[in-house]
Amino acid sequence: MDEIKDWTFLSCAVVCLIADVYLAVGLRGRAEDRSLQMLILAFAAKAVSLTLSAPTVATFIDQIVGVPNVNALVVHLLGGVVYSTGMLVALSYWAYPVERAQRRAIIWIVLSVIMSGVLIDMWLAATNTVTARSGRYLLDNLELPSVAVYLLLYIASFVAGLLGVLLTCLRYARVATGAWLRRGLYVSAFGASVYLLYCVHRVVGVMLPGLRADFPDIELATPLCVGVGALLIVVGFTLPSWGIKLSAAALWWRDYRNHLALYPLWSSLYRQVPTIALDPPRSRWADCLRVRDVRYHLCRRVVEIQDARLSLQADGGLSVPAGQPRLADEVAWLVHMSRST
């Protein structure tokens, strides 16, 4: 199980760091964007908490600090309270006018400070009894009231953030105009739903011992829900930005392939009507290296082919080399493609 947690948590931490770098690059031109700033803070806090959640890293940190289970406190403060607050503040600036968003942001930040203070107080109270390091601090010490209250408060702060993400994303996904924005909102909502299962898992762990019920060991749900949920939330929040670039890359590739596919027809027509060429003719291989301004060169190629067709029709005859497609079919395809470009 420790190996699964190590791989899952550290992989998700790397994804959060990559998203942070990507967002930080975009922040250079939008230094006053509060939502982007809070999102960077949230992902940075999550990256640190996920790194510290890896059992190998947690053991190493506790040995260096010398305070048992302090790593668990830092993980819960960063990955629960700070992460949730960052997302809620970012969503406030996205969903409301600036003045109202600022008031909501202040409320969320004040509540997070209060919650952090209570969690630290509960953790300090538990240290009087829990003096040995525990690999599963919460589950192994649930019989202590201070740890049980600590867990419920931590889950409450986390659930608030996840529910905020879920409800806000679903609300605005229905009215979003951009395809990538709509996809990103749905992905984030699904990630929050998966992450909420982790919270349910922890709350059930608190309730069942009090009911004297046996709780099956399904600790695998922790890395599964945390890994999938955190990954989908990061992808969803950043998808509207890099998804547009992905569409642009796909469009460039389509134009590039069409540009190369037209070369045989353009070359045969050029030999009959050399005046159609705006630029000096290039070889087929040189054409493959033309990767800049592909849309412009594609439009030029379509125009030059149609100019050659009209010129040859005016002369009363067409001469298409053997092996070339039927000109009527090519013309029909060119007309369709020129409209799409």
DSSP notation for 98-133: HHHHHHHHHHHHHHHHHHHHHHHHHHHHHHTT--S-
- Tokens coding 299: 């439009």
Pair 302, 260: CB distance under 8 Å: no
Q: Determine the pLDDT at residue 45.
A: 92
Q: Quick check: helix, strand or coil at residue 144? A: coil
Contacts of 2 (CB under 8 A, 6+ apart): 55, 56, 135
* pLDDT, position 1: 62
Contacts of 34 (CB under 8 A, 6+ apart): 89, 90, 93, 101, 105
CB proximity list for 282: less than 8 A, separation 6 or greater: 290
- CA distances from residue 39 to 12, 15, 198, 235, 334 in whole angstroms, order as listed: 16, 14, 22, 12, 46
Specify the pLDDT at position 206: 65
pLDDT tens track for 197-216: 888 877 776 666 554 445 55
Q: What is the largest CA-CA distance in the chain?
A: 100
How does pLDDT run across 48-102, given as a tens digit for each residue?
999 988 888 877 877 787 776 778 888 889 988 898 899 889 888 888 888 898 9
Intervals of the chain under pLDDT 70:
1, 29, 31, 68, 128-143, 205-220, 315-341
CA atoms within 13 A on the CB side of 172: 19
CA dist., res. 85 & res. 46, Å (int): 11
Q: How far apart are the first and last CA of the chain?
A: 54
Residues 6+ apart with CB under 8 A from 284: 263, 267
